[in-house]
């Protein structure tokens, strides 16, 4: 996060380590979680068993506030920070609130990415532990994924009764690591006793379909079912072969039986947060587990959650994938905007984003306008959160507030990074969001499931991105036929597109018109229950930079993290 300003030179980690944490039992008790539903992981983390919660007497499930964003700059616009700060401000205003957030992935933490736990005075804690192993959920998902592939390759080695074609495997092993060297590998070398050689590769754990399944399951039994439906490859006769065909969905569910319980932590201000699951936002749907969101609804009146990337991707998938499976339709959508991002979309090069530029602002706001209109297409009134950066001038902020007022959109400047939602940094935003939550909304999905996969993709491209049309590559057309033949056409679509543009070209900023979306391939994720549409190269195993963050990391003699952001 680059909002760095108010707290002088203190890093996120320094702010986090200075915060006084309360015992997680206290946070749980205030949140209405009975002790028998709580499984402690150290002093400040706990898992919650949703089966041991009882509905609050006389209370409806909480309303969902989805935090999304305009098309972001590469540095990100501060969605997690806004999510945390907004929740803190809502709590400060007396609302019973709970946060639902994604868990960070370890690989990028060792590379260069900031944490995914918010920033400044709007963080979930203990940020060092959440950013490292946390409660081991991602390790359990890694183990389940790799157990599946070990069992598949063993099946082939032991005689291949199912007739699995080793050249048509669609599932890979994973590691929660940025490890470029594992992108393309050959395995099973060494002769007849070491396996059957085949071309393969590793993805990062968050790209595993098991992560997506984990985040869309309603409970353990549903998780087991969905694991069984995963297609990991094809037989020599081209028919799909699933985990249930191997009969190991029970073993995989067993490996996930504790991980599937949501993790409770607290913000710097003491607001309860469920941090659980974290699928990729391109080849998956990019939001925390459905179980966490539904559990939070059981416990609080307002649940603040986020979805990855901009609203064209994260919010659309939240509405059309997650909110079809679970009862989590948002009552309000917050669209995070920054002066920096508006200027970038107005054509300003990255190194000049801190300089005032009224024309660029006016041009770039068209990107925000399209996202706001998109939110309305789902029947929800958006609220703009202007995430304040140190370089923003009062004139720029006022201009944007005026623009929103002219457009009839609720908006507020939020300084939750510098002042914290526990301070007064998000009071105005919280008031506007609370009003939006209280006013009626009429949620609807963008498309019906009965529409063909092609039709679903065209609808998203035209209605949300503003494209003229969609072009399907020859392989994609062939895959569409496979999808129909295999009976998967009723699944929703998960678009894998760059987050930087409404188009499939990351360099086309603003609110472009007259463009075509190119679908180069389709990947059926039958366990997660969606069809991924690839509109460009998607990196599913990141690499490390020349100076990885790991070089700065250390631990002091008392066991405290050093150099973690």
Stretch that binds a copy of itself, among 76-84, 290-298, 395-403, 548-556 (CB under 8 A): 548-556
Q: Does 20 bind a copy of itself (CB under 8 A)?
A: no
Q: Name the active-site residue from 52, 56, 96, 113.
A: 113
Q: For residue 222, give the DSSP letter.
A: H
The beta-strand segments (E) located in 149-188 are 164-169, 173-175, 185-187
Determine which residue in the list 39, 225, 427, 471 makes contact with a copy of itself, applying CB under 8 A: 39
Residue 54: CB minimum distance to a copy of itself, A: 16
Write out the two tokens for 128. 């060092």
Helix (H) or strand (E) holding 427: helix 427-438
Would you call 207 a catalytic residue per the annotation? no
79 labelled binding-site residue:
yes
Pick the stretch among 142-150, 406-414, 459-467, 477-485 that binds a copy of itself (CB under 8 A).
142-150
| Contact between 180 and a copy of itself per CB under 8 A | yes
Q: Which of 395, 406, 401, 389 is nearest to 357 (CA)?
A: 395
Given 13, 28, 91, 143, the residue binding a copy of itself (CB under 8 A): 143
x/- string (CB under 8 A) for a copy of itself, residues 387-426? Answer: ----------------------------------------
Q: Is 403 a catalytic residue?
A: no
Verify whether residue 117 is a known catalytic residue: no
Contact 326, 86 (CB under 8 A): no
Burial code (b: 16+ CB inside 10 Å, e: under 16) for 507-540 equals eebbbbeebebbbbbbbbbbbbbbbbbbbbebeb
Among 202, 232, 389, 565, the active-site one is 389
The smaller minimum CB distance to a copy of itself, of residues 49 and 521, is found at: 49
Q: Count the Cβ atoms, other than its own, within 10 Å of residue 44.
A: 18
User: Does 72 appear as a known binding residue?
Assistant: no
Annotated binding-site residue? 76: yes
- Contact status: 14 vs a copy of itself (CB under 8 A): no
Closest approach of Cβ 527 to a copy of itself, in Å? 17
Among the listed residues 417, 472, 502, 530, the single catalytic one is 417
Q: Are the C-beta atoms of 428 and 413 separated by less than 8 Å?
A: yes
Q: Which of 14, 18, 221, 468 is close enough to bind a copy of itself by CB under 8 A?
A: 221
Instruction: Count Cα neighbours of 450 within 13 Å in the Cβ-side half-sphere.
Output: 0
Q: How far apart are CA 49 and CA 62, in angstroms?
A: 18
> For a copy of itself, which residue of 6, 220, 244, 401 counts as binding (CB under 8 A)?
220
Shortest reach from residue 94's CB to a copy of itself, in Å: 32
Query: Phi, psi at residue 496, to the nearest 5°?
Result: -105, 100
Does 196 bind a copy of itself (CB under 8 A)? Our answer is yes
Site string for a copy of itself, 102-131 (x = CB under 8 A): ----x---x------------------x--
Residue 562 within binding range of a copy of itself, rule CB under 8 A: yes
Q: How far is the CB of 50 from a copy of itself (least distance, A)?
A: 11
The reply, when asked if residue 80 is annotated as ligand binding, is yes
Q: Is 479 a catalytic residue?
A: no
Among 206, 201, 156, CA closest to 177: 206
Regarding 153 and contact with a copy of itself (CB under 8 A), the answer is yes
- Judged by CB, which is closer to a copy of itself: 359, or 554? 554
* Catalytic residue chosen out of the listed positions 45, 63, 92, 102: 102
Does residue 176 bind a copy of itself (CB under 8 A)?
A: yes
Q: Which stretch binds a copy of itself (CB under 8 A): 66-74, 144-152, 308-316, 515-523?
A: 144-152
Contacts of 549 (CB under 8 A, 6+ apart): 109, 110, 111, 112, 563, 564, 565
Minimum distance of a copy of itself from residue 118's CB (angstroms): 21
196 CB-side CA count, 13 A: 16
Q: At 435, list the tokens.
A: 């009003």
359 is in an annotated binding site: no
Least separation, in Å, of the C-beta of 24 and a copy of itself? 10
Using the rule CB under 8 A, give the single segment among 58-66, 82-90, 320-328, 539-547 that binds a copy of itself.
Answer: 539-547
Binding test (CB under 8 A) with a copy of itself, winner from 66, 182, 304, 461: 182
- The rounded distance, in Å, linking the Cα atoms of 164 and 527 is 18
Q: Are 116 and 80 in contact (CB under 8 A)?
A: yes
- Catalytic annotation present for 389: yes
Long-range contacts of 163-166 (CB under 8 A, 24+ apart): 163/235, 163/236, 163/237, 164/233, 164/234, 164/235, 164/236, 164/241, 165/233, 165/234, 165/235, 165/236, 166/196, 166/198
Q: Cα angle at 236 between 234 and 240, to 5 degrees?
A: 25
The residue range among 76-84, 188-196, 359-367, 411-419 that interacts with a copy of itself, by the rule CB under 8 A, is 188-196
Residue 466 counted as an annotated binding residue: no
C-alpha span between 290 and 215 (Å, rounded): 6
Count of CA atoms in the C-beta half-sphere (13 A) of 531: 26
Beta-carbon count within 10 A of 406 CB: 8
Q: Please report how close the Cβ of residue 245 comes to a copy of itself at its closest, in angstroms.
A: 12
Four-CA torsion 267, 262, 539, 3, nearest 10 degrees: -10
Binding-site residue numbers are: 73-80
Active site residues: 79, 81, 102, 113, 281, 309, 389, 417
Binding-site residue numbers for ATP are: 73-80
């Amino acid at each position: 996060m680059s909002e760095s300003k108010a707290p002088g030179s203190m890093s996120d980690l320094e702010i986090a380590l200075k915060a006084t944490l309360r015992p997680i039992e206290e946070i749980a008790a205030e949140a209405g979680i009975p002790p028998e539903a709580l499984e402690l992981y150290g002093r400040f983390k706990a898992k919650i068993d949703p089966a041991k919660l009882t509905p609050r007497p006389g209370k409806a499930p909480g309303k969902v506030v989805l935090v999304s964003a305009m098309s972001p700059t590469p540095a990100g616009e501060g969605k997690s920070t806004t999510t945390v700060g907004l929740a803190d401000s809502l709590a400060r205003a007396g609302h019973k609130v709970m946060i639902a957030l994604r868990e960070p992935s370890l690989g990028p933490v060792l590379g260069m990415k900031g944490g995914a736990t918010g920033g400044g005075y709007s963080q979930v804690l203990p940020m060092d532990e959440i950013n490292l192993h946390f409660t081991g959920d991602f390790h359990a998902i890694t183990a389940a994924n790799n157990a599946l592939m070990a069992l598949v390759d063993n099946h082939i080695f032991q005689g291949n009764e199912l007739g699995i074609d080793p050249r048509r495997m669609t599932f890979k092993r994973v590691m929660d690591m940025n490890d470029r060297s594992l992108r393309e590998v050959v395995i099973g070398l060494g002769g007849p006793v070491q396996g059957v050689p085949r071309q393969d590769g590793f993805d990062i754990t968050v790209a595993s379909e098991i992560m997506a399944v984990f985040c869309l399951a309603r409970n353990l039994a549903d998780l087991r079912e969905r694991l069984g439906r995963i297609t990991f490859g094809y037989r020599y006769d081209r028919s799909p072969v699933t985990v249930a065909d191997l009969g190991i969905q029970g073993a995989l569910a067993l490996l996930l039986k504790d991980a599937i319980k949501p993790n409770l932590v607290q913000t710097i201000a003491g607001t309860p947060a469920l941090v659980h699951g974290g699928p990729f936002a391109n080849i998956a749907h990019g939001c925390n587990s459905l179980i966490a969101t539904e559990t939070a609804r059981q416990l609080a009146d307002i649940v603040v959650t986020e979805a990855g990337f901009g609203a064209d991707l994260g919010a659309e998938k939240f509405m059309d994938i997650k909110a079809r499976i679970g009862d989590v339709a948002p009552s309000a959508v917050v669209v995070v905007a920054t002066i920096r991002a508006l200027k970038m979309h107005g054509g300003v090069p990255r190194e000049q984003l801190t300089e005032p530029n009224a024309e660029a602002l006016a041009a770039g706001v068209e990107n925000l306008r399209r996202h706001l209109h998109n939110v309305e297409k789902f029947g929800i009134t958006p609220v703009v959160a202007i995430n304040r950066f140190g370089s923003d001038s009062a004139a720029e902020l006022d201009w944007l507030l005026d623009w929103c007022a002219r457009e009839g959109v609720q908006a507020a400047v939020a300084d939750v990074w510098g002042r914290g939602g526990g301070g007064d940094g998000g009071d105005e935003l919280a008031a506007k969001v609370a009003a939006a939550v209280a006013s009626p909304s009429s949620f609807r999905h963008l498309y019906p499931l009965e529409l063909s996969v092609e039709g679903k993709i065209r609808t998203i491209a035209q209605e949300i991105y503003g494209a003229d049309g969609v072009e399907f590559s020859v392989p994609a057309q062939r895959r569409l036929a496979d999808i129909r033949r295999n009976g998967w056409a009723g699944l929703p679509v998960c678009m894998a597109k760059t987050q930087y543009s409404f188009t499939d070209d990351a360099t086309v900023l603003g609110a472009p018109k007259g463009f075509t979306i190119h679908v180069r391939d389709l990947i059926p994720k039958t366990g997660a229950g969606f069809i991924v549409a690839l509109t460009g190269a998607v990196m599913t195993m990141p690499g490390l930079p020349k100076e990885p963050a790991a070089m700065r990391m250390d631990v002091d003699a008392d066991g405290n993290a050093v150099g973690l952001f």
